[in-house]
Amino acid sequence: MLAALSALRAEATELPREQLDFFEKKIRPMLIARCYECHSAAAKKIKGGLTLDTREGLLKGGDAGPVLVPGDPEKSKLIEAVRYKNRDLQMPPKSALAPEQVRDLEQWVKLGAPDPRVEAGAQATAKRGLSVQEGRQFWAFQPLLNQAPPPIKNRKSEIGNPIDAFINAKLAEQKLTPAPPADPRVFIRRATFDLTGLPPTPEETEAFVRAYSSIGNRQSAIGNLIDRLLASTAYGERWGRHWLDVARYADSNGLDENVAFGNAWRYRDYVVNSFNADKPYNRFVQEQIAGDLLPAKGTPQRHEQLTALGFLSIGPKLLAEPDKVKLEMDLIDEQIETLGRAFLGMTIGCARCHDHKFDPLPTADYYALAAIFKSTHTMDDLKTIAKWHEPEVATPAEHAVVEAHQKRVAEQKSAIAKLVASANKSLVTDKGLKEVPKTPETQYPTNTVAELKQLREALTTLEKDAPELPSTMGVMDATNIVKALPIHIRGSHLTLGQPVPRGFPQVMQVANLRAEMPAQQSGRLELARWLASPEHPLTARVMVNRIWRWHFGQGLVGSTDNFGVLGDRPSHPELLDWLAHRFIAEGWSVKAMHRLIMASAVYQRAAGAEGVKSLRVQGGRAAAFASASTLQPFNSSTTGPSTSDPENKLLSHFPIRRLEAEEIRDAVLFVAGSLDRTMGGKTIPVKNREFFFNHTSKDATTYDSPRRALYLPVVRNNVYDLFEQFDFPDPAVPNGNRNATVVA
């Protein structure tokens, strides 16, 4: 088992996770489907001496020389061939690749053509990935263990709660000494930025320092501070933004049809409100997968649950894809990949075209999930430009407003019709035969013409100002329930294999988590309940790791979105399971997890590193832009990180981290006294389904709003410059682990 894991990890450890995922999802399936027939070791005859089934063959080229220049698409013969612009060099020869496939190849070459494949002989005999049975022995798929905190050997060590027992035990193994507590001025900045994304005011800082400095009052002062911050509406705005990274939130579709998601903001506000209300995480999960199928206590809750389904709907879509079956399967793939990363920390999408190369996820498991989403209605219209589903979320009062307006429009039309009929009647006289005027209105009296003009202008204004019933992005069960979906060989719907009934990944199934799929429903409700079960090996682990990462800047599992074979191993596996158990026991409360983590001595430690100069923040407004942790040096000879833990994974001190894009921007407005704290609502400048870009390809979106950065438009393909400068994640893919580039 260990040898197999080592071999699998060694095959791809040199590639960044994002590049590996891009190759496995976009490039390998394309090469298999369109190139291997003529350019692989399995081909009857290798044409042009070119093999594309190994990294070595691709780099070597064929009889006519190299076909690939990593990093330079314009100099790569491979790219020239697939573009179909040179009549003498067009590949594949029978038909061109789809435009998005060409773009994927161009992007791959631009990245340097990252390729984890081994040479053909080794590939033929290499382990293809863990079997389901082997996978059940892998740490992430093991049942949660209710670990007891280790005994405290050094009574002098500061222990805030059981978290510190786990952390300090690891430090003791490496002979590392924990840092002392942070200065209270440092701590309030850390906690306030952490929970609200804003700096504390000078008055708040001084009040906290006084309370903290009172004899025996330190933990009470910290507890009161945390409670106050968690009660602030700014908390949901800060932590809701964390989840929106995971949910790949955006206000536009992206890709070639970059039209506005005019109702995506409702999902954003749902997330913010859910964090502020401390909605149990298991309920939060279920609502985003099957909110339409859950019982609701009245209309407001029903609308909230429908809005939660934006999670499944706000991903990018190839709206103009001519192959409508492919469009639907690509959409399903995007939903599965997002669900897998967000809730399970797994790259399930890699099993669309073949068994997962590394994780115990056979292709059959992928299509068992795909059958659930094939039974789900996401698109209302698959014509030339497809339209996504938007359920209505109007209140009775909003219905009444629309009905009243429709009545006024009808009355106005009736008044116009009556006036026209009366005027026409007045033109009818018995004066013998005469040519009928083509436009009777030219014969109307002057006062009638003026009155008619006034009525029609009023009608135009009424119709222009017509209120719309509010709707939200979401999904619903399809009318045609797919009980079994054939495996799409190599990911192509044109080549079908054995049908697979709806179900869940086998490696994560335990005896009491099996569910019968209902004949008349999609199976999303069963999927949601399976994900939210306390017995599930991944759901709680993944979320507490996310919470830890968003507090410390690094997770107990460093690869927050990948708990699979290629992901990182937990630095503190016992602590991870203990936190997951505690999370479930306390009703899946995120706020309770904040209180637990922030009450620990490890969270309250000074930040610093060997050789870092002193920086002490005095808590005034001028210090608003310092790091959220803020450096407070300690004696590096006794407490600094050593060569045994250069990355501070064992947390001998609080990690130094840079503020994120939104925090920097909001802090500027906050200290200037110009931050608009209005919450929620639509903020994009274009109507629903309209293009963000005009005929000059320029985005007319403005970002000079004084509101919090959370409410600025997120336009795919054209993210706000300030955001990009400070590592805002790609809103087209789920990301729970933002980069923090620091350039001196």
Where is 550: in which H helix or E strand?
helix 539-552
One-letter identity of residue 247: A
- What pLDDT, in 10s, does the model give residues 203-214? 999 999 999 998
The Cα 460–Cα 711 span in angstroms is: 33
Length of the chain: 744
Query: CA geometry: angle at 20 spanning 252 and 4, to 5°?
Result: 140
- Residue 622 reports pLDDT greater than 70: no
- Listed in order, strand segments (DSSP E) in 645-718 are none
- What pLDDT, in 10s, does the model give residues 67-115? 899 999 999 899 988 898 888 888 898 888 888 888 889 989 898 888 8
pLDDT band, very low/low/confident/very high, at 396 (cuts 50, 70, 90): confident
Give the predicted TM-score (pTM) of the model. 0.84
Q: What is the mean pLDDT of residues 412-427?
A: 87
- Residue 613 reports pLDDT greater than 80: no
Question: Which residue reads 């070119």 in tokens?
Answer: 50
List the beta bridge partners of residue 32: none
The Cα 652–Cα 602 span in angstroms is: 8
Report the greatest alpha carbon distance in the chain. 118
The Cα 720–Cα 162 span in angstroms is: 42
Q: Name which of 190, 256, 285 is nearest 540 in CA terms.
A: 285
Could you say which DSSP state residue 344 is in? I
pLDDT, position 313: 98
- Residue 121 reports pLDDT greater than 70: no
pLDDT, position 633: 43
Find which of 154-168, 644-658, 688-702 is predicted with most confidence, using mean pLDDT: 644-658
One-letter identity of residue 617: V
Residues 6+ positions from 141 with CB-CB distance below 8 Å: 135, 360, 507, 508, 537, 538
Residue 97, class by beta-carbon neighbours within 10 Å (0-12 exposed, 13-18 middle, 19+ buried)? buried
The Cα 361–Cα 508 span in angstroms is: 10
Q: Name which of 248, 247, 244 is nearest 236 in CA terms.
A: 244
Q: Name which of 558, 562, 560, 557 is nearest 21 in CA terms.
A: 562
Find which of 119-123, 343-347, 615-619 is predicted with most confidence, using mean pLDDT: 343-347
- What pLDDT, in 10s, does the model give residues 434-463? 665 566 777 788 888 888 889 898 889 888
Q: Are 484 and 499 in contact (CB under 8 A)?
A: yes
Query: CA geometry: angle at 324 spanning 323 and 330, to 5°?
Result: 90
Low-confidence winner among 8-22, 129-143, 411-425 (lowest mean pLDDT): 8-22
- What pLDDT, in 10s, does the model give residues 221-259? 999 999 999 999 999 999 999 999 999 999 999 988 899
Q: What is the mean pLDDT of residues 348-377?
A: 95
Q: What percent of the chain has pLDDT over 70?
A: 88
pLDDT band, very low/low/confident/very high, at 615 (cuts 50, 70, 90): very low
Low-confidence winner among 306-315, 429-438, 486-495 (lowest mean pLDDT): 429-438
Q: How big is the chain by its Cα radius of gyration, in Å? A: 30
- What pLDDT, in 10s, does the model give residues 665-699? 999 999 999 999 999 999 998 889 999 875 555 66
User: Cis omega before residue 92 (within 30°)?
Assistant: yes
pLDDT band, very low/low/confident/very high, at 126 (cuts 50, 70, 90): very low
pLDDT, position 516: 86
Low-confidence winner among 101-115, 466-480, 704-718 (lowest mean pLDDT): 101-115
Could you say which DSSP state residue 614 is in? P
Q: What percent of the chain has pLDDT over 90?
A: 59
pLDDT, position 623: 44
Q: Are 287 and 308 in contact (CB under 8 A)?
A: yes
Q: Where are the domains of the chain?
A: 2-127, 162-232+566-659, 241-391+475-531, 396-425+439-464
- Residue 162 reports pLDDT greater than 50: yes
- Give the N- to C-terminal CA distance of the chain in Å, as an integer: 44
One-letter identity of residue 310: G
Q: What is the mean pLDDT of residues 168-196?
A: 95
Question: Which residue reads 């008055």 in tokens?
Answer: 203
Query: CA geometry: angle at 34 spanning 254 and 103, to 5°?
Result: 25
The Cα 480–Cα 521 span in angstroms is: 9
List the beta bridge partners of residue 377: 476
- Residue 431 reports pLDDT greater than 90: no
- Residue 125 reports pLDDT greater than 90: no
The SS3 call for residue 499 is strand
Q: Name which of 79, 66, 67, 65 is nearest 108 in CA terms.
A: 79
